[in-house]
Amino acid sequence: MKKIGLLRESQHSNIAVLIPQNIKQLKNDAEFFIETNAGLASGYTDEDYIDAGASIINSKQELINSSDLIMSYSSVIGNENINAAKTFIGAYDVLSDYCTVIPFQQKGIDVYSLNLLPRTTIAQSMDTLSSVASILGYKAVLIASTISPFTVPMITGAGGTLRPAKILILGAGVAGLQAIATAKRLGAIVKAFDVRKASKTDVESLGAEFIDIEGAIDSSIAGGYAVEQDKAYLEKVDQILFDETVNADIIIATAKIPGKKAPLLISEAAVKAMKPDSVIVDLAADTGGNCALTQPGKTIVTENRITIVGDTRMLDKIAKSASFLLANNFASFLKHYLANNDDDEILNATKVITDGKVTNPRLIAEIDNL
C-alpha cells in the first residue's frame, strides 16, 4: 500500500490539497501522513485528519522520509535530505517559473504538476486551474464592489435612483465567466471581451454584452486557451478597449496565456482617462498584469483616484473554499495515478521530472526558448 504524505504549505499559501473527507474516501487505497497543521489555515485541524484515518507527522523531513508520494499545492523541497525514490505531486507553475523545478532535480525524484493537465473529458475532475479561476473570478467582483464607493445594483428610494454599476470583464475564460455571473447577480450592467470568438455564446448566455473585435488569431489549436496575438490586432484592441475602459466603474481583468506574460489590455493612458473612484482588479498580476500600472502583490491608488488591485494571494483569503475544490481535484488525480502506470495520457502530460531530470516536452521547449 502506497504511503502518501501531505506537506504543510509555505507561508505564501494557506491551501491544503487533501482534506479529511478525501482521506476517508481513499484510506483503503493508501496510508496517509499529514504534516502537523497542514490543514489549519484552511480550517482543518490535526484532529480532523486523525479522525479521518491519517497519521500526523511533526516535521517536513520526517514526512518526506515516511512517504512514497508527497503532495502539496506549491511547496517545494528545501534542505531536506532525500535518501530514497520519491514522487511529488503539486500544482507547480513550471511554465511561468522554471526555477520551481530546480530543487527537485535530484536523483530518484519524480514530479507531476496538475497545471499541465490535458484538456480532456477524463481530466476535467482534476482541473485545478479551472477551480482556482472560478473562485477567483467570484472573489474579484466582491473585492471590487467593496472598494468601489458606488452601489452595484440599481437602487430606488425616497432620495431618488442610483444607477447600476458598469462592470467590464476582460477575458472570458473560467474566471471571467464566473466574474460575469457574480456581477450580474449583484445587478450590474456587464460587458466582456475575449479574443476567442467561441466565448461570445458563453458571455451572452450569462446576460452580458460581448465586445466583438474582428481579426483575432484562431485559438482552437491551443485547446481552448487564449493565444498570443499579432501587433496589428492588439493595436485595434487597445483603441476599442480604451473607450470601454473609461466608461467602466469596475474592471475585472482575467486574461492570461499559459506560460506567457499576460497581455496588456489597459494602457496607462486609459487609466488616466478613467472616472475618479473607479476600480480595477487584475487577476493576471502574477504574470505581469493586464493593466500597465498593476503592481503585483500591491493595491495602489493613482493620482486620479483609480484603485488598482494586484493581489497575488487572493486565493488565501478564501482558503477553505479553495481547498475544498482543489482537494477534490488532487484526490481525483491521486486515484487515477494509483490505478494507472506511466503509459497514460494524463500522467505523461503532467510528469515534469523523471529520476531528477526534466522530461516534460512543454517545459523543455520553454527552457530552450529562454
Q: Which amino acid is at 339?
A: A
Share of the chain above pLDDT 90, in %: 79
Q: Is the pTM of this model over 0.85?
A: yes
pLDDT of residue 45: 97
Q: Strand, coil or helix: what is 132?
A: helix
Q: Strand, coil or helix: what is 170?
A: strand
Please tell me the least confidently modeled range out of 105-119, 130-144, 277-291, 356-370: 356-370
pLDDT higher than threshold 90 for residue 235: no
* Mean pLDDT estimate for the chain: 92
Kindly report, residue by residue over 39-66, the tens digit of the pLDDT: 999 999 999 999 999 999 999 999 999 9
Which residues are tagged catalytic?
Answer: 119, 124, 127, 130, 225
- 42: Cβ contacts below 8 Å, ≥ 6 apart: 14, 15, 16, 19, 319, 320, 322, 323
pLDDT band with cut points at 50, 70 and 90 for residue 6: very high
Report the alpha-carbon distance of residue 16 to residue 22 in Å, rounded: 11
pLDDT of residue 311: 96
Find out if CATH 3.40.50.720 is the number for domain 2-126+320-368: yes
Please tell me the least confidently modeled range out of 29-43, 77-91, 220-234, 294-308: 220-234
Contact 171, 199 (CB under 8 A): no
Report the alpha-carbon distance of residue 27 to residue 161 in Å, rounded: 58
Q: Give the range with max mean pLDDT: 169-173, 220-224, 225-229, 261-265.
A: 169-173
What are the structural domain ranges in the chain? 2-126+320-368, 130-317
Q: Are both 2-126+320-368 and 130-317 of the same fold? A: yes
pLDDT band with cut points at 50, 70 and 90 for residue 207: very high
- Sign, CA dihedral 186-191-194-200, equals positive
CATH code of 130-317, in short, is: 3.40.50.720
Report the alpha-carbon distance of residue 38 to residue 19 in Å, rounded: 10
269-284: string of b/e by CB count within 10 Å (b at 16+)?
Answer: ebbeebeeebbbbbbb
Q: Which of 67, 38, 72, 63 is nearest to 52 (CA)?
A: 38
pLDDT of residue 216: 65
Residue 55 phi/psi, 5-degree rounding, is: -110, 145
pLDDT higher than threshold 70 for residue 226: no
Distances (CA, A) of 264 to 170, 205, 292, 309: 11, 27, 7, 15
Mean predicted confidence (pLDDT) in 137-155: 97
Mean predicted confidence (pLDDT) in 162-171: 97
Share of the chain above pLDDT 70, in %: 95
